Amino acid sequence: MAYAALLSLKHLLEHTLDHDYQYLILDEKQQIESLLQKISFLQDFLDHSPQKSSETIDCLESQIRDAAYEAEDIIESHITDRVHEQIASKTSDSFTPFFHQLEEVIEEIDSIKKRVEKIKDENDVQYLQTRTEPSPDSLKQPASSSGKSSMVGLDDDIEKIKDRLTGGSSNLETLLVVGMGGIGKTTLTRKVYDDELSVYYFDIRAWVTVSQHYNGRGLLLGLLDSMKKPTDEVREKSFEELAEYLYKNLKGMRYLMVLDDVWDTKVWDNVKRLFPNDNNGSRIMMTTRLENVAGYENSCSPHHMRFLNEGESWNLFCENVFGKDGCPTELKEIGRKIVQNCQGLPLAIVVISGLLSKATKTQHYWTYIGENLSSVIASNDDNCSKILSLSYKHLPHHLKGCFLYIGIFPEDSNIRVSKLVKLWVAERLLKPVRSKSLEDVAWEYLLELVDRNLILVHKKSSIGKIKTCRIHDLLRDFCVREAQREKFFHVNNMGLCGISEGTKVRRLIIHSYRKLNDLDICLQNMRPRSLRHVNLWEMVLPDPTSAKTVGKNSIIVLDNLQTLRNVGNFRCTEEVLQRIPNLKKLGIHFDLGAVLGRYYCLNNLVHLLKLESLFISGGGNMSSSLLKNIAFPISLKKLSLMGCELHWENMTIVGSLPNLQMLKLNFNSFVGLEWEPNEGEFLQLKYLLLSQINLENWIANSIHFPSLERLVIDECEYLKEIPRDIGEIPTLESIEVSDCSDSVVTSAKLIKEEQHSLGNDYLQVRIVNPWIHNLD
């Protein structure tokens, strides 16, 4: 985590020099500039250091991490104190302690820098060699050739791979088996390798486990050992002599070569010329966790390993725990829960079933195991932890922090990628790239983690962009443990009371649905807050310090703030809005009683010139008088309203927005029995939602929504029909009706039939009504 600590510190130093210059004196600026140079040097060193760990490198990384954290704390505390002093119109001599504290850290970092320079000078050759030295277990052979590889499930996958190996093109082809660590790539491949059909079909079969650290000569000896070819004389040959020997032994033969656990495309680049292509159906198989290993010639589409389904998982579990005996009735329910918590990962099932097969088979013990599955697996099987940690250790330094950070989400979470990207940016975990925004860099990091099978894609958008992702619970547990060891973050469901006194926690993750009553204090003590995204829980923000008190030049402006959501009783005064000039997304909730007055006049929203998305919700005794003079900025693209109780004649305020593309009208956002939009409005609107609106008559035609693509009507029980002319809109792609009256359903069907009779088969109509039998 040294790299993530350096990135965060570098962001802070650059931001301080660019934006917080006014809070520094000359000597402090020189200190920070000097520190920035040293940080850049150390970052470059880690960028080019080998991924293979060593005691020396690990020790250096720990020292770099701790020094970077300390420097960050000192600088942030100092700037925050200076800001508060200016706001309070106070002055104090905080220069001396800050200068000396920072100087001590700079001296420590300078000492580390000198040690790094010495190591680089003395060990450049050694660093290069660490990438090619074989590890002790890197050349393992398959456990057996008897055709008895242990595997339950995935029979369909085995048959597909056998077909691809023995059928298809006679040309030499390479088949890649891809998946996360522990998903069963090697076991599946061994099953195929040892299968009777493979033994019969191929003249020669050979297997070598490549692993992360290998050399070409060792790889060749591994293949030749598997073929039972080498003599003592052969073992003394050079790489080139071994390559020629292997080539001659394979020439004219139909062979199957397995390269297990490949971590680098260079492996294939180094050995592809060693395999003759005699157009006789020879095949090469590789197993890997990395998607990009598949990018070479003569490769067919990779076989992606899937997780075991519920039945396959249960069968594997029972076979390992009970053998041929069935699971006792009293253990079936808790046993199935344990299996479900393994989430279809064979490694997890094998480890936990191995533990339970040797333990007392009681409901009490099994319940304990089910409730503490991840920690039990981690503490009882070192091999499991090593398998999962290999993927982490093989990550480039710039990806390690981003991967560990995913551990902040609760188990079994469907993680919104948009939120994850914002958090990575806000936490300063990204390495800036010229001509790219930090958000673009974050997306590249995400895709790389997906390609490495560390992040699992859960749901994609209609255009193929990842919307939500997941991480297996075992990997998430690894992230939490590693992050705590690296002082990166702590997950504690007990809140602050769960942290012992004196413990220093950089990031505290509290998985709780309780509202935090001390939010105002937190916000007032944050450094403004570099804040980009703030997502609250319908909480009231503290009033800003008056400009009259501190002077106009001392007003804190949140230039970087893009998102502000779930704010309670948002006060739209000009004084508030001028502090968030670049806001793009705003979500506000009004729970009214005595909140009427000038503070809440929403006509001031027009001053948010970059606002693109707005959500307004009303509740309690909300009165439409609060919103009758509402005005929106012309930049608005998405508007969602709920419970606002506006009248339909006020809709022209919305319809006249020139850039509005999405409009969601939810529960009582507008009231009244009839709505007739005006011509020339909603010119760019593409999506319209009417949900729980007490509307009876909707009078409209194609000229009112000329760009509409999708219409959704949900629980509008009083609406009589959808205007028939809506179907004439040339851009309309779909109409969706849910829980509405029979007459609305009928009108939707008539629109579809009429358009289809005119040759418009493009329009889709979807009906979801639980109280009618004929569903479309």
Q: Note the pLDDT tens digit of each residue in 2-41.
A: 889 999 888 888 877 776 556 666 777 888 888 889 988 8
Task: Identify the pLDDT of residue 495.
Answer: 52
pLDDT for residue 96: 62
Between 261 and 518, the higher pLDDT residue: 261
pLDDT of 514 > 60? The answer is: no
Cβ partners under 8 Å of residue 588, min gap 6: 567, 568, 569, 570, 615, 616, 617
How does pLDDT run across 62-102, given as a tens digit for each residue? 899 889 888 888 887 777 776 666 655 555 555 567 778 88
Domain(s) of CATH 1.10.8: residues in the chain: 310-380
Burial of 448 (0-12, 13-18, 19+ CB in 10 A): buried
User: 3-state SS of 289-325?
Assistant: CCHHHHCCCCECCCEECCCCCHHHHHHHHHHHHHCCC
Give which of 761, 770, 762 is closest to 737, Cα–Cα: 770
pLDDT the model gives residue 594: 42
Residue 773 has a pLDDT of 34
Fold assignment, 2-130: 1.20.5
Q: What is the mean pLDDT of residues 752-759?
A: 89
Taking the chain, what is the end-to-end CA distance rounded to the nearest angstrom? 54
Provide the pLDDT for residue 132. 36
Torsion of the alpha carbons at 593, 598, 599 and 603, rounded to the nearest 10? 110
Query: Which pLDDT score, from 0 to 100, does residue 385 have?
Result: 78
**Tokens encoding 651:** 């809709």
The boundaries of every CATH 3.40.50.300 domain in the chain are 155-304
What the block records as the tokens of 511 is: 């998985």
pTM of the model: 0.66
Task: Give ranges for CATH 1.10.10.10 in the chain.
Answer: 399-498
State the average pLDDT for the chain: 80
pLDDT > 80? residue 697:
yes
Residue 563 pLDDT exceeds 90: no
Q: Strands 687-691 and 734-738, how do they pair?
A: unpaired
> Which DSSP state fits 366?
H
**CATH 3.80.10 residue ranges for the chain:** 533-768
CB neighbours of 55 closer than 8 A, spacing ≥ 6? none
Structure tokens at 512: 């709780």
Residue 142: what pLDDT?
40
Tell me the pLDDT tens digit for each residue of 462-508: 667 899 999 988 888 889 989 888 888 888 765 555 555 555 667 77
Q: What is the pLDDT of residue 267?
A: 80
pLDDT of 701-742, one tens digit each? 889 999 999 999 999 989 999 999 999 999 999 999 998 988
CATH code assigned to 155-304? 3.40.50.300
Query: Sign (positive/negative) of CA torsion 350, 354, 357, 359?
Result: negative
Question: Which 3-state string (H, E, C) describes 550-596?
Answer: HCHHHCCCCCCCCEEEEEECCCCCHHHHCCCCCCCEEEEEEEECCCC
Q: What is the pLDDT of residue 519?
A: 38
| Fold (CATH) for 399-498 | Arc Repressor Mutant, subunit A (1.10.10)
Q: Tell me what pLDDT residue 496 has.
A: 52
To the question of domain 533-768 being in CATH 3.80.10, the answer is yes
User: Please, how many CA atoms are within 13 Å of residue 572, restricted to the half-sphere of its CB?
Assistant: 25
Instruction: Report the pLDDT averaged over residues 311-315.
Output: 92
Confidence of residue 525 (pLDDT cuts 50, 70, 90): very low
Instruction: Quote the percentage of the chain above a pLDDT of 90.
Output: 30
Residue 771 is predicted with a pLDDT of: 43
CATH 1.10.8 holds for 310-380: yes
Provide the token pair at 129.
């060699």
Q: What is the CA radius of gyration of the chain?
A: 32
In the chain, what percentage of residues exceed pLDDT 70? Answer: 79
Nearest-CA neighbor of 772 among 736, 744, 731? 744
